[in-house]
Structure 1
Amino acid sequence: MTRYIRHAAVFCALLLVALLVNAARIQIVLAGPYDHDPANRRTTIARYDRPRGDILVGGRSVTGSRDSREQLRYERTYTDGPLYAPVTGFASQMYGTTLLEHTHDAILSGTDPVLTPLPLWNDFTRAHSPGGHVVTTLDRAAQEAAYEGLGGRKGAVAAVEPTTGKVLALVSSPSYDPGLLSGNSAATERSWARLNADPDKPMLNRAVRQTYPPGSTFKVVTAAAALDAGVVTDVDRPTDSPDPYRLPGTRTLLANEGDGCEDAPLRDAFEWSCNTVFAKLGVDVGVADMAATAQAFGFNDPGVRVPFSVAPSTFDTTVDRAQLALSSIGQYNTRATPLQMAMVAAAVANDGELREPYLVERTTTDGGSTLSAPGPRPVRQVMRRTTAERMKELMEDVVTEGTGTNGAIPGATVGGKTGTAQHGVGNSGTPYAWFVSWAQGDRDPEPRVAVAVVVEDASADRGEITGGGVAAPIARAVMEAVLDS
């Protein structure tokens, strides 16, 4: 009888061991697959069971969390949602995350291991760390000035600090309220459908995800390439440029909007934006040197991140001479984001050195302790210092007596370049109005801000003055906001 009891006890012990092994297998080996199984809602419920960390601008939160008292308890809220949507993106219980809400989701949701000083203890107790915060580089006044300046018109504004690469403003218009997408109700679904069906594309981040023909603002790049290559050695010497200019190998004649461009010196041609002069300069510089200069400014770089990805700006390196002439005046296949053109202006303002732009100053714990502080990114020399000095002079002339006088600021030195970019079949679309600029206060040791503005639905006037009349006042307001801060 004792033997039977002993056998039964051993069998029960084996069953117990088997149960323990299976439990360990499920909890350790299969934990990952179970956690990520779509049918398992425990992870999702835990994710929304606590407030999300905040995104800060100028020391104040532009995000928050609302207790819905539902199973997915906390929903994201936004202060001035449309103003900051191109920076924050959205955090939705139904549609995921975008922009900063996406790139820093682990910090904001509290799931990043750096927020957990004792991970094994937290795993044992099932405790969750509170979400951390993301501190941006934005200048609140500059952001507001850019948004108000666009006034709901289609377009975008990007502003950076030339010496560091800090993004000071990033605005896209028309915009949307990301708070409409936070929950999981039928109203959220309707908002999602409405925003995606809107022909004005309010969820498109035009500042970093939309490329445009930069038009005459690209002449900053062409002029820098011509000076660096030695094609132009004296900005006041005639350039031997005909008006009109026959595109090489074709019968197509390129003309100017105004008079006085024939044989114009670089200074005058830049001031009044002579297409013929810059088309010929681009051809004289050649594809290789034009492409090298454009790439130094950031064109053709698919890896730009701020930290979310930026659509690559492009300069076609496979063009023939006629196409190169058009590319050199910001047409043909040349495309740029507003952020890229702000980088162009910043490189000129910073003596030819370009800092890669960045948007996050630091991340912190819920208590305010710093987790990471990326700081300024590496610098690269885009053009010779002497070339940058000439380019600053040329851009200043545009504002003092050329097409960009609407960008002038009393008590400050401002350089700029206007642009009107043709597009559409047969250039039938309403031209895009551009203005790129930089500003330095009289008491500032160096330029404080570089700005790029593009307005899609500007006046149909096709003269260069369109950029100065429509986009320059917006850039001026942004620059004033930074200089006054």
Structure 2
Amino acid sequence: MTRHIRHSAFFCALLLVALFVNATRIQVFQAASYDENPANRRHTIARYGQPRGDILVGGLPVTGSRDTGEQLRYERTYEDGPLYAPVTGYASQEYGTALLEHSEDSVLSGADPMLSPFPLWNDFTRSQNAGGDVATTLDRAAQQAAYDGLDGRKGAVAAIEPSTGRILALVSTPSYDPAALSGNDSAVGRSWTRLNGDADKPMLNRAVRKTYPPGSTFKVVTAAAALDAGVVKDVDQRTDSPAPYRLPGTTTRLTNESDGCENLSLREAFKWSCNTVFAKLGVRVGVRNMTATAQAFGFNDTALRIPFSVAQSTFDTSVDKAQLALSSIGQYNTRATPLQMAMVSAAVANGGQVRQPYLVERTTRAGGSTVETAGARPLRQAMHPATAARLRELMTEVVTDGTGTNAAIRGATVGGKTGTAQHGLGNSGTPYAWFVSWAQDHRDMEAKVAVAVVVEDAEADRGEISGGGDAAPIARAVMEAVLKSAGGRGR
């Protein structure tokens, strides 16, 4: 009898060892394959089993979570969805995440271990943190002013604070409501198909993900390069600039939109946006110096993130003299996002210094305690401070007495530069209307905002399209909103 008991005990021990070995094999060695198996819905169910953290603008949420009572319990909601879509992106149970919803997903979903004071304990208990919140740098009034100013036309606005790089407005139109993609029913699939098939591309973030020929707004960069290189020593000295200007090595003659540009000084040529003067200046500055200045402003940077990625703005480094002439007036292969051109304007307003733009001020736990703050941003010198001071003068005169008078604000100093960019085969496309600017209240020590506006479908009549007429009023509204907000906070 004892022998049978011994055999049974030994057999039970073998079974226990086998169970232990199998459990170890599954939970340790094969855990990754089970986790990654598409049929495993535990992660998905857990992900949507609690409310998602919120994205905040001005301390108030522009997102939320709705309890559906279904297996994937919580569904994302959006307040003023089209207004903030170029910032929030979408969080979809079917199609994943985009923009801030994507780049800050670990915080918003509660997966970031920094959300817990005891992350190792969470790993042991397999418990999940509540979703954290993401506070943005946006100014509500500026965002609304930009959106209202575009009024549904194709275009974009980017506004930043020159001294810090804080993004104050980021708008792209036409827009869409991210809530249409939140759930997992058949309507979500139809919305996805409709939005992606729309010829106007409402899901394209034109402010940071589309590049345009910047046209005459790029003359700010060319003027900076000419002054820094010593090609121009006196902005009031007449230049040797024929009108029309024959592009080097070609029979092509470059003309101007207005008369009287021949041999104008840099000051007057900037005020009236003379192509011939700036094309020849670019050739005199040369490819190397033009490239160095453009790159100091941020062109050709492949690594810019705010925190989601930004399309690369480009200045062609392998051009002949004729191509360089066109590149120097923002045509040929020169391309820029509206955010990049806001950075150019901000550098002028900030003594020649470029602050890397950013969109997230801080992240917090559900209880409100801070997880991470933005901290100091990288800084680089785009031009000499004396050059920036001179360009501030030139941009101010554009608004007081040139092509940008529609951007003037009572009680503030405003600098600007208009642009009308040709594009399409043989320049057959409707020109883009551009305006870049900065504004400083007379009571402030520094500029509070720099703006770039591009309008794709400005007017039905090509001859009436202009940066000063179509884009400058939008920039003015955004700058006024920021100055009013800044005045209310500071006084």
TM-score tier, shorter chain, comes to: over 0.9
Instruction: Kindly provide the CA deviation profile for residues 41-64 of structure 1, in whole angstroms up to 9, marking residues without a partner as x.
Output: 011001000000000000100000
The runs of at least 4 consecutive aligned structure 1 residues that moved more than 4 Å come to 460-465
Shift of 1:420: 0.1
Give the distance between the partners of 1:109 and 1:122, measured in 2 at CA: 15
Instruction: Kindly provide the CA deviation profile for residues 402-438 of structure 1, in whole angstroms up to 9, marking residues without a partner as x.
Output: 0000000000000000000000111111000000000
Aligned ranges 1:29-428 → 2 under 5 Å:
29-428=29-428
Instruction: Kindly provide the CA deviation profile for residues 8-30 of structure 1, in whole angstroms up to 9, marking residues without a partner as x.
Output: 31122021012012213322332
Instruction: Kindly provide the CA deviation profile for residues 249-307 of structure 1, in whole angstroms up to 9, marking residues without a partner as x.
Output: 00000010111100000000000000000000000000000000000000000100000
- Counterpart residue type for residue 388 of structure 2: A
- Counterpart residue type for residue 95 of structure 1: Y
TM-score by length of 1: 0.98
Aligned ranges 1:445-460 → 2 under 5 Å:
445-459=445-459
TM-score by length of 2: 0.97
Counterpart secondary structure, 2:459? coil
Give the distance between the partners of 2:266 and 2:208, measured in 1 at CA: 31
Contact 2:431 2:465 in 1 (8 A): no
Give the distance between the partners of 1:437 and 1:460, measured in 2 at CA: 25
Give the distance between the partners of 2:84 and 2:321, measured in 1 at CA: 43
Unaligned ranges ≥5, structure 2? 486-491
- Counterpart residue type for residue 229 of structure 1: A
- Counterpart residue type for residue 477 of structure 1: A
Contact 1:358 1:376 in 2 (8 A): no
**Change over 3 Å in CA distance of 1:379–1:123 after alignment to 2:** closer
- Counterpart residue type for residue 283 of structure 1: V
Give the distance between the partners of 1:107 and 1:138, measured in 2 at CA: 19
- Counterpart residue type for residue 200 of structure 1: D
Give the distance between the partners of 1:383 and 1:118, measured in 2 at CA: 48
Give the distance between the partners of 2:436 and 2:56, measured in 1 at CA: 27
Q: Percent identity?
A: 76
Count of residue pairs the alignment pairs up: 485
Contact 1:241 1:262 in 2 (8 A): yes
Match in the other structure for 2:488: none
Shift of 1:464: 9.3
Contact 2:459 2:465 in 1 (8 A): no
Counterpart secondary structure, 2:221? helix
Give the distance between the partners of 2:123 and 2:418, measured in 1 at CA: 58
Give the distance between the partners of 2:347 and 2:201, measured in 1 at CA: 31
Instruction: Kindly provide the CA deviation profile for residues 153-211 of structure 1, in whole angstroms up to 9, marking residues without a partner as x.
Output: 00000000000000000000000000000000000000000000100000000000000
- Counterpart residue type for residue 95 of structure 2: Y
- Counterpart residue type for residue 423 of structure 2: H
Shift of 1:127: 2.5
Contact 1:420 1:431 in 2 (8 A): yes
Unaligned ranges ≥5, structure 1? none
Give the distance between the partners of 1:124 and 1:265, measured in 2 at CA: 72
- Counterpart residue type for residue 88 of structure 2: T
Counterpart secondary structure, 2:14? helix
Contact 2:261 2:274 in 1 (8 A): yes
